[in-house]
Each structure stands twice: as structure tokens, then as C-alpha cells.
Chains A and B, each alone.
Chain A
């Protein structure tokens, strides 16, 4: 793994250029171009605002719209990594078959391109929260860094896993489509962690901290704690459970590295 990270750092110029390429291609030939990465979150906030209002759906949460939009913006990065990485290796068949370079760079640069996109959206989100007066700046703000670190590690890990898996099984793209939808509803995106612990309280033999086994639970809670000053943990929860989410992110990352390293040998044969 150290080797993989060393390679990425050595070839950082290639990583930068590939990130740039991924971003450029995304909006190539569209009239508004890069503006879309700002317009999309704005439009999204608007749509959710209208529907949450009409449906009167608020989950008993104060500032529910801000809560929801934060969740959606954060989730977009995860689902972006999942969906874009599908083609990170398969879509660059020509390159993989004809030129030798560390393959890990392909999924990593896809994830980083999504991260850049996320950063832009995140700025919009911060402006929106500030505008509506829900942005809180305190010691809690430090949670953002923890959340972003976990999120990036998870995103890169997922990118590596999906991109490699799709080389060997083209079924991956369909599985990822369904899986990410299921994951979305299992994660506290439009509801709070209290809902999860509430459901779990009926099952006695499971510790409530088990909800942090889903890394998105930890990540979403941490972002919301950092941005909106909400408590990162449901009442009565031992904060050390957050480490479970961090641990899962690290495991996914390691699995991703491992997948690329062991799959690398066969890319040339299979593609």
C-alpha cells in the first residue's frame, strides 16, 4: 500500500492532468460548461425546498431543509465515486493496454475529480447555510475535517473497488446502480440517526453503535456536526463508536488498494 501511495505521489502530475481531463470532459460541448457544477446543486436545493414544503415532510427536525440538503450534497460525492469509477479502467482500455503506468492512478483521479466537484458544491452549501442562518462556527467546525478525511478515503477506496470489479464482471455497473440506491435509504440522508437507533432499540442483542458500521452514518453525522452544529451522536451514544465508521473507511480503502494491485496483472489480458 505504501508502494501504491508512493507511486501516486511520484506521478502526481499525471493525477492532476487526469483529474483536469475528467472534469473537462464532463462539461465539454455544453454551453454552460463548468457552470453546471454550480447550477446543479443550486437547482437541487430549490427542488428539495419546494417538495419538502409541499409534502410537509420534516422528520420533526428543526431546519429540516438545510439538514436534508447537507445530506444530499454529501451523498452526491459518494454516489459520484461509485458511478464514475465504473468506467475508470474499462473506459480507458486503450491506455491500459498500450501504455504502462501505475493503474491505481485511474480510479484515484476519478475520485479526485469528484472531490473537486464536491468541493465546489460544498462551497455553495456553506453559502446557502450561512444565508439561511443555520451555519454554526464553533469547536464543532473541526468535525468537517474529520468528515472530509473519512469521506475522501472512502471515496478512493470505493472507486478502486468498483473500477477493478467492473473489469472482471461487467455486472458491476448494474449491481452498483441498485446497491447505491439501497445504501442511500440505509444512510441517514433524509432522516436522522435517531430514526436508526429508534428502530434498533427494538432489537436488544445489537449494540446501538452498530449504525456506525455504515461509514456514511459517521460521515453524514460528522458533516452535520461541523456545518450545522448538530450533535454528532444520538443521545446516550458512546462517541467512540464513530471510530467504527472511520475503521470501515480505512478497510474499504485498503481493500481498494489490494484490488488494484492484484487485478493489475490481468487487466491487459481481459480488456
Chain B
């Protein structure tokens, strides 16, 4: 037995975009016109390996190539270039209940699925009660599955798939379905697999789950492997990246324009700019402004919101007692925020420059700057409250 369970070596996968049209006529026309069609690269030179007994999480935005990669490892697709080596039997949960035929009963489908997975019939019959038990479908097992609800379908699919007991298990976002009770059952089963020393490759968009179950996480972005390693840091990187991606679509800039915010820069501890991500307690932001004409009693404001757009906190120079009599020309103000009571995660900063009475908005930058806060001390919830225990 080798130490490596899955070895993915320089996998590239390109799709011909016109190939899907696939009628004889279009093919002939393409052939005559020497039209090879546009190609789309779903995976670009991806290399990594999964050790025996290791669980690797796979994250990335929609269309990053996660499912394609899993299909190639599962053997349902072939790479354009590169090789995949797997040692041991593979079972893939690319889609639960994929092989079920609607007209067959639950019982017939279970046996069919087992045969497709390559399990001998006697073994399957022995496991049959377990499967029915796990799915909780005793009453309906002799009904055609087309009468099943989608939840029942998936439950039966998972129940069969986990009975296969493979060396390598590939799971594609199957936990998104089913109620919380069933999800817990699935997680328990996955942990059981881990304890048994099986290798797993899991795709999920649920960061919390994937961080807790994976030994390492691989991050795919537009077909490229952007990082692989420690779950927390890779997940944080993906979170920050997806926040940047999101910034473009939710960013909004508006105001009268008499005075403008010309630059936002997050400062490192040494006072130099450090991009838009930070580690540490005090966040320092330098805000540059310009005003062609004199503006009396302006107010600079900011707010910080979380991943889901909820405002966590907001303040301005007036509230904080930093009065500015007037601005004219160009200058900067620097904001210091102690973020140590916030949980680690990705946040979004908005900035504003308005009149003291809030009647005139000179310039507002909504959802302008993403920040990734990474605190070493972990706690439950979204913010830290001062706590004290008295013990008698």
C-alpha cells in the first residue's frame, strides 16, 4: 500500500464550446469551415496529492472547476492533459441517487446501485436492512422512486453510497440537501470514514463544515490551484478573495461632489500601506480628500459590515468629538479602529464625507474596502463582549 491515495499530476481540461450542439449538420459545417470552435479551460495544470487517510476539502467559486476535477478523479471524465493516479477503490457521491430509475422501486434501485458500484449482490442483500434503516424509508421501500420526495430520494442515495465502504470517497456538495437531522447523520458518517483511515475529497460551499472536517483545503480559482494547505488560512484567503470579487458588484459611489474622498488606504503597523487585508488589533485607515472650495464643518464617517451585509458598527468624526472646522484643497484624515472585539472573518468598510447636519452628502463610498480580520484568539459568535466570572 502506498502512502499516496490520489495523485493528480498537471491536469488540464478544456471543453469545446460548440461541441454540445452536436448534430450532423453543424458538425459538417464546422468541418468544412475548419471551425474548431471556441474552447474553455475548466482546469489549468492542477497538481496535488491526497495522502492515505487524509481528508482534502475543495473550495472555490461556482465555475472554478471543482466538479470537473472530481469527475476526472472519479473517472467519468478524461483530462485533456495530465494524469490521475488513485490507489484503492473509489466511490463517488457526485450526485445522490444519480443512477436511480424512477419506475423501479426503492428496493430494486438499491440493488441496481450496488451493482453499479461493483458490490456483490449477497453483500448488498446483507446490508439491505442497514441501508433502509439509515434512510428511514421502511414504509416506502417497495414503492417506485418516482413517488419519492426529493428529500427521500437523496436520503436513500446517501444510505446506499456510504455502504460501499471504499478506500477513497469523493463527495460533491451533497450535504446541501436534506434537513439538519439528516445532515448531522451524514457528518457522523464522514467522521466515521475519517476514523477508519479512508481518504476523502470533499466539495462544499459550507465553510464551517469543510473547515471542521478537512485536514487540508485546496482552493481552486478559474481552473487554477490557488493554494493548498491549512484549512483556516486557505478558507480565509478564499473568503477574502470572494469578498474582493463581490466588492465590484456591491460597491456604490455617490454624492454631490463638492468635496471628494480620493483614496482609502489601510496602513500596517509601521504606517506603510498593506493592501486591504490586515492582521492585528488596531485597523488604521488613511482617507485622502480634496475640496476645490472651502467647506465648513465637514464630517468624515465610516461603517463596517459583515459578510452578509449587516452593519456591525459605524461612527463619524462628530460623534467621536474630532471636529473639523473646515476643509479646502487636499489632505488626509486617519481613522483608527480597535477591531479586537470582532470575530475573525471578512468585513466591508464604507466611508462618507457629509455635512454635520447630514443634509448634504458630499461623497459616499458604500461597500468600498474589504478587510480580512484574522484574530489569533477564537471565540463563539460575531463579537467579543467584556466578560467576568466571579467564583465563590
A101, CB-defined interface residue at 8 Å = yes
Identify 15 residue pairs between A and B in the complex whose beta-carbon atoms are under 8 Å apart, listed by A's number.
A13-B121, A17-B111, A17-B121, A25-B101, A97-B71, A98-B92, A98-B99, A99-B74, A100-B90, A100-B92, A169-B22, A169-B24, A265-B78, A266-B78, A269-B19
B61, CB-defined interface residue at 8 Å = no
CB closest chain-A residue, reference B91: A99
Interface set, chain A 150-206, CB cutoff 8 A to B: 168-171
- Let me know if A13 and B120 touch, CB within 8 A: yes
A21, CB-defined interface residue at 8 Å = yes
- Let me know if B75 and A100 touch, CB within 8 A: yes
Given contact pairs A97-B71, A101-B116, A169-B23, a sample of 12 additional A-B residue pairs in the complex whose CB atoms are under 8 Å apart: A14-B116, A24-B108, A25-B101, A94-B99, A95-B99, A96-B76, A98-B92, A99-B116, A266-B78, A268-B78, A269-B19, A270-B22
Shortest CB–CB separation between residue B53 and chain A, in angstroms?
22
Q: Is the interface of A mostly helix, strand, loop or mixed?
A: helix
A11, CB-defined interface residue at 8 Å = yes
- Let me know if B20 and A270 touch, CB within 8 A: yes
Which residues of the other chain, A, contact B118 by a CB distance below 8 angstroms? 11, 14, 101
Which residues of the other chain, A, contact B108 by a CB distance below 8 angstroms? 21, 24
A28, CB-defined interface residue at 8 Å = yes
Which residues of the other chain, B, contact A101 by a CB distance below 8 angstroms? 116, 118
Contact for B103 among A29, A95, A170, CB less than 8 A: A29
Interface set, chain B 69-102, CB cutoff 8 A to A: 71, 74-78, 90, 92, 94-95, 98-99, 101
Give B contacts to A, CB under 8 Å.
Answer: 15-16, 19-20, 22-25, 27, 71, 74-78, 90, 92, 94-95, 98-99, 101, 103-104, 108, 111-112, 115-118, 120-121
- Let me know if A98 and B115 touch, CB within 8 A: no
- A264–B77 Cα distance when bound, in Å, is 9
Given contacts A168-B22, A170-B22, whether A95 and B104 have CB atoms under 8 Å apart is no
The size class of the interface chain A forms with chain B is: 20 to 34
- A266–B14 Cα distance when bound, in Å, is 12
Which residues of the other chain, A, contact B75 by a CB distance below 8 angstroms? 100
CB closest chain-B residue, reference A29: B103
CB closest chain-A residue, reference B76: A268
CB closest chain-A residue, reference B97: A94
- A91–B220 Cα distance when bound, in Å, is 32
Most interface-central of A13, A25, A97, A101 (chain B CB within 10 A): A13
Most interface-central of A97, A98, A101, A169 (chain B CB within 10 A): A98
- Let me know if A98 and B98 touch, CB within 8 A: yes
- Let me know if B98 and A170 touch, CB within 8 A: no
Given contacts A21-B104, A99-B98, A268-B76, whether A169 and B19 have CB atoms under 8 Å apart is no
Which residues of the other chain, B, contact A28 by a CB distance below 8 angstroms? 103-104
